[in-house]
Amino acid sequence: MRIQQVIKVTGLSKRAIHHYIKEKLITPVIDQRNGYFIFSNDDINRLTVVRLLRTLDLSLANIRNILNHPKMANYYLTKTLRDLNRQKSHMAWQEGCVKSILDGLNQEPTWEQLFLLMENAPSPPDKNELGDVLDIVDARMLSLYFLGKYMHDIEMTEYRRYLWDKLLRYVASPQNKHLIPICEYLFSLNTEKIKSVFIQRDQHMDYIASLTAETQQEYIKYMTNVIQSNIRDYSWISNWKRAYEPYLLPSIIFYDSPANELMQEISPRFSAYVKNIHVCCTRLRKFLDTAEGLPLLNEMRQVFGRHMDIDNHHYGILESMISFKNTMYK
């Protein structure tokens, strides 16, 4: 298809199409005989998506990531939805403020009257108050980060949709206010950072889910070696302590909550991850209580102190000590 046909089909201008080619959002073939672009059906489909996403005010960088990593679309669209909700809240205040002032104005207002009306106008929404609770959009973002990988490649039946909605309501409940710092951090990450975090986390969890009875013991040895190395790395220790209370501990508690049970029912792959990580962490914890492992456990307690509640959360603590290098919290 030639560019004139593409313009008719997509509604985009010639200039916009050339710009998207320059930005590598599409890569049409070049006709070697005349140097003209030849657009495929896939190019047309991508341009259609680009046009809609640009209308939604997504940046070209975010659109490029969606085109190249479609599974990231949930993240970027959830972030956009949250921005729109906050804009809507601000616009509602603006409308109410203007109406309040207009309702009180005389036909020929004096400066004094105008000043008094504006002084008593409704105050704008407090940004801090907006962050004091989790809503469904926040819950969706958190669920995407913690568990969304396991929503890929499964049929979303009516029952699974019911469980997913139940999961979102649970995450948004007041008892999970401790997740607010993680939510705010997720929404603040730039494009490249969030992409690398999601990809690395997915790879790590996929590896755990694929462990067999034979490879579990190898992974336990790997965990032991990583912990021994990390607790002698002052930079790693500093990062862990800084992230422990606002990010790591809430994450650990979340994975040990009803959300875990819901996701196991939704996704067999998540069940495999939970089963394998529990087996590995339980065996490692037992090893740390042996004469051979006790010196390492004592060193861990000495190094981390209150920043390591291994007695109450040994699954999460030991798993986090391995996956921490792949998280966003450093």
Q: How far is CA 196 from CA 151, 325, 327, in A?
A: 19, 12, 9
Q: DSSP string of 190-215?
A: -HHHHHHHHHHHHHHHHHHHT--HHH
Distance CA 40, CA 42 (A): 5
Distance CA 251, CA 245 (A): 10
Residue 18's pLDDT is 95
Put simply, whether the predicted model's pTM sits higher than 0.85 gets the answer: no
Task: Between 199 and 117, name the one with better pLDDT.
Answer: 117
Residue 224's pLDDT is 95
Whether 77 and 180 map to the same domain: the answer is: no
Mean pLDDT score of the chain: 89
Q: How confident is the model at residue 41 (pLDDT cuts 50, 70, 90)?
A: very high
**Residue after which a domain boundary falls, among 127, 161, 191:** 127
Strand, helix or coil for residue 29? strand
**Whats the size of the chain, residue-wise?**
330
Whether 100 and 178 map to the same domain: the answer is: no
Q: Give just the sign of the alpha carbon dihedral 300, 303, 305, 307.
A: negative
pLDDT (tens digit per residue) in 58-110: 999 899 989 988 888 888 999 999 989 888 988 998 999 999 899 998 888 88
Domain total of the chain: 3
* Residue 60 maps to a domain: no
Which residues touch 47 (CB under 8 Å, ≥6 apart)? 6, 10, 12, 17, 20, 25, 26
Residue-number span of the structural domain to which 110 is assigned? 71-127
Whether 174 and 297 map to the same domain: the answer is: yes
* Residue 66 maps to a domain: no
Whether 49 and 103 map to the same domain: the answer is: no
Closest CA to 81 of 137, 4, 120, 6: 137
Closest CA to 241 of 297, 304, 301, 302: 304
* Residue 180 maps to a domain: yes
* Residue 80 maps to a domain: yes
H helix count then E strand count, the chain: 18, 2
Distance CA 247, CA 185 (A): 9
Whether 179 and 318 map to the same domain: the answer is: yes
Average pLDDT over residues 4-28: 94
Q: Does the structure show a pLDDT above 90 at 132?
A: no
Whether 283 and 314 map to the same domain: the answer is: yes
Which residues touch 283 (CB under 8 Å, ≥6 apart)? 216, 217, 220
Q: Does the structure show a pLDDT above 60 at 130?
A: no
pLDDT (tens digit per residue) in 154-200: 888 999 999 999 999 999 999 999 999 999 998 888 877 887 888 88
* Residue 273 maps to a domain: yes
**Residue after which a domain boundary falls, among 127, 154, 170:** 127
* Residue 239 maps to a domain: yes
Whether 92 and 221 map to the same domain: the answer is: no
Residue 226's pLDDT is 93
* Residue 274 maps to a domain: yes
Whether 115 and 214 map to the same domain: the answer is: no
Average pLDDT over residues 222-230: 94
**Residue after which a domain boundary falls, among 127, 154, 175:** 127
Distance CA 169, CA 111 (A): 50
Average pLDDT over residues 201-218: 91
User: Tell me, what CATH number does 31's domain have?
Assistant: 1.10.1660.10
Whether 17 and 140 map to the same domain: the answer is: no
Whether 94 and 212 map to the same domain: the answer is: no
* Residue 157 maps to a domain: yes
Whether 210 and 147 map to the same domain: the answer is: yes
Q: How confident is the model at residue 147 (pLDDT cuts 50, 70, 90)?
A: confident
Whether 159 and 85 map to the same domain: the answer is: no
pLDDT (tens digit per residue) in 234-256: 999 999 999 999 999 999 999 88
